[in-house]
Structure 1
Amino acid sequence: MALGAVPALAAEAEPDLGVGTIAPIKGVQAGSAFSTPLTFLNKGTEEVPAVWVTYAVSPGLKAEETYKNCSYYTIPSYDEMPESNVAACRVEQPLKPGVLYGTAKPVSLKALDSAFRDNLRVGIGVNEPDTGDGGSSDPVQGTGDPLTLVEKGPADDADRKNHPESAASADVTAANTADFALTGAELKGEVGDKVTATVKFANKGPARVQGALDESVTTVDIRIPEGTSVVKPHDFCEVITKTHYRCGTSQSWVDVDGGESYPFVLRIDKAVGRTVGAISFSGQERPFDRNAANDTAQIVIDTGKGSDTSGS
């Protein structure tokens, strides 16, 4: 080693902290409160003087009770991730190694009227949580008693296996329905005209619906009326045949009163009178949608003289 050189210091290792596996929470009633116990384990060999405990919920849920050592904020949706309501709590108490801890009482949450397929995510660490690239709303400090942890006893091998990582998540399922609805278009033109038919998909609620991540929450099949051809389809729509398009959604979820619009520029090629193209849902099953009356719609175009026809 050269004279005067200072040996490099090894980076301090993060404490080995774990969050207990959280069982799926089912049968929650929209508009009501529910609670869940949380447990934590210091799997290292040194005492940890203080920790940050975070719990985040999807948009159909929120904190029912707030703690004065927690700040509450919302991280807006970004990329493929939905909006998240977060509580970040500074717990100023030591966690002894090999001791199982739990919240002094179960954490209380509220299922909103829009609750349906939601989730809870819990984390523990020694650093203040980062809100990420998307930023967050201004934090609001809680007002209730502080969130505290209590010793539950020495941890055994089963406890260690049940606290594998510093974060855990659970699905939260509420009893609710959502009305997916389709709206078509009625147009008029002559041979050679270009007309724009806008098909609309809407979620009329009351539930917000989260589908499988990275997949369209539903798909819409659009049949092109006979006597017309597609000049420009919507970007979310793929060609099945020249008279059949299938349209997806911009995200894997749809909010209440949210949805998509699919404008199609069509050219009238032949006068065939009143011509009709069918619109219907496809894709993921929708057992939550109990109103079948608006599950189909039509594009109707009056092309001038001729016999009435329907697209296939």
Structure 2
Amino acid sequence: MPIPPHNRRASGAVVAALGAAGLIVLAAAPAAFGDGAVSELVVGGIEPIHGLKPGDTFDLPVTVANKGTGTAEKVWVSYSVTRGLDFVDVPSNCRVQHIETYDEMTENWAATCAFDQAVKPGVVYTPEKLLRVKVLDRAYIDRLRVRVEDGGAPMDDENGDPSVAGTAPAVKLVEQPAGGEGSAERVKVSVTSVNTADYQVTGAALRGRVGDTVTMKVKFANAGPAWLLEEEVERGVQIMITPPAGTSVIKRDYYCHAERGTYRCPAHFGMNMAEDVQTAYTFKLKIDKRIAGAKGSIALTTEPRPFDHNKANDKADITLDVTGGGSTGSTGGSTSGSNGSTGGSTDGSAGGSSSTGDDATTTNGGNLAETGSSTLPITGAAAAAVVTGAGTLLIARRRARNLS
């Protein structure tokens, strides 16, 4: 839409005013734009740390240097450690924030220390007392980040708790002999500890009659004591679930996918595996026939896990007790059923009139759609009436449309 003449004049006046204001600012601050002196802060002294044990403490020997040509009047040094580590004896000129897992960020502790002093070009500094870190019982492979910056103060992460000031005496930066300065504004290294984590699975005991739909719930857990940062350890462990013979899958767990008579499921749904975390997988199975001794299984895949020394709980049985009458077949694999095509929710009953007891087995005959055990026959006359009624309704709608 064309701009009315008076709006065009107003816009021109605003542009002219902004241009004049810009010239005034430039004229008033020639040093900021003319001499080219800028600071360039870098950190150094941070190297990977290995062989620690839960309960150990260590200091962070960080250095700060200014490789630019201008002095930084105030600097901030920020530290971040993942959840197997924590800060101790934090100086009062530092603020600490706890940040829970969100998006692609794993849980961590962040400490930002303010140094209200000049950092001159060509000079290397270090805190007069280094920041101390403690190794927690859940440590295994952790990550340490260090960053230095000047200008405005860094803000808290909005996804974390409010930051709090340290209680130890404040520290300042002190000059060091030349050498040892870093080359980057931020550094990330690994911190490893000697520890173990026990991945384990739990099976299920199912019971029902032929034609019933039963709930199968099996579990995977990391029993600790260590947590696992997935990007730093061997990836790829999966859960393989094989239903008992004589059953068909009516509804699979949402995260599991069929693979040659079994189901492959992810071990967890994030960047890390916290200690004592547990994941459940829920399926709906229809009991098609009675097979003596039928059983399925839940098992971990066989990728190397050097932290997991207990292999006895990497596989568990899924048993099926078919009660009452019903046909008995030979031992064999489970039928595919709907092969999990329904997807959807992974908890609760499959719907209809079926109810699930505390032992995760269906206590009645299931619902109409899944078991067929309560389906009433539709006579030919009834079916014809349904078809005739539908045709009459369609003709009436067409006539109404033609009259309108």
TM-score of the two chains, using structure 1 as the length reference: 0.88
* Aligned length, in residue pairs: 306
Give, in angstroms, the shift of residue 310 of structure 1: 6.6
Alignment of structure 1 residues 148-227 onto 2, 5 Å: 148-154=172-178, 159=181, 162-164=182-184, 166-212=185-231, 218-227=237-246
Give identity over the alignment, percent. 38
Residue correspondence of structure 1 range 128-143 to structure 2 within 5 A: 128-134=153-159, 136-143=160-167
Alignment RMSD: 2.7
Q: Which has the higher contact order (CA 8 A, sep 6+)?
A: 1
Aligned pair partner of 1:5 in 6, 20, 35: 20
Given that 2:240 and 2:264 are in contact with CA atoms closer than 8 Å, whether structure 1 keeps it comes out as yes
Contact 2:90/2:131 (<8 A) preserved:
no
Deviates more, 1:270-279 or 1:256-265: 270-279
Q: Which amino acid aligns with 1:265?
A: K
Q: Larger deviation: 300-309 or 144-153?
A: 300-309
Larger proportion of helix: 2
Q: Distance in 1 between matches of 2:302 and 2:100?
A: 27
Matched, 1:59 2:83: yes
Provide the C-alpha distance between the structure 2 equivalents of 1:80 and 1:117, rounded to a whole number of angstroms. Answer: 18
Partner of 2:70: 46
Q: Deviations over 1:196-222 (max 9, x none)?
A: 111111111111111127996732111
Distance in 2 separating the partners of 1:262 and 1:213? 26
Give the structure 2 partner of residue 23 of structure 1: 47
Question: C-alpha displacement at 1:230, in angstroms?
Answer: 1.7
Q: Is the Cα–Cα contact under 8 Å of residues 91 and 171 in structure 2 kept in the other structure?
A: yes
Describe the shift of the 1:121–1:298 C-alpha distance in structure 2 as closer, same or farther (beyond 3 A). Answer: same
Q: Unaligned stretches of 5+ in structure 1?
A: none
Verify the 8 A CA contact 1:204 1:257 in the aligned structure 2.
Answer: yes
For residues 332 and 88 of structure 2, the distance between their equivalents in structure 1, rounded to whole angstroms, comes to: 53
- SS of the residue corresponding to residue 274 of structure 1 reads coil
| Most deviating of 191-200 and 110-119 | 191-200
* Shift in alpha-carbon separation, 1:94–1:57, aligned structure 2, 3 A: same
CA distance in 2, matches of 1:14, 1:269: 77
- Residues 26-58 of structure 1, C-alpha deviations (whole Å, 9 max, x = no match): 001112212231112212211111111111110
Q: Structure 2 length normalisation: TM-score?
A: 0.69
Contact 1:281 1:296 in 2 (8 A): yes
DSSP-derived class of the 2:21 partner: coil
| Partner of residue 273, structure 1 | 292
> Relative to 1, partners in 2 of residues 1:180 and 1:248: Cα closer, same or farther, differing over 3 Å?
closer
- Contact 2:295 2:317 (C-alpha < 8 Å) held by counterparts: yes
User: Is 1:248 paired with 2:267?
Assistant: yes
**Which of residues 116, 119, 140 is equivalent to 1:92?**
116
Partner letter of residue 73 of structure 1?
A: Q
Q: Secondary structure at the match of 1:186?
A: strand
Q: Which has the higher strand share?
A: 1
- Which has more radius of gyration? 2
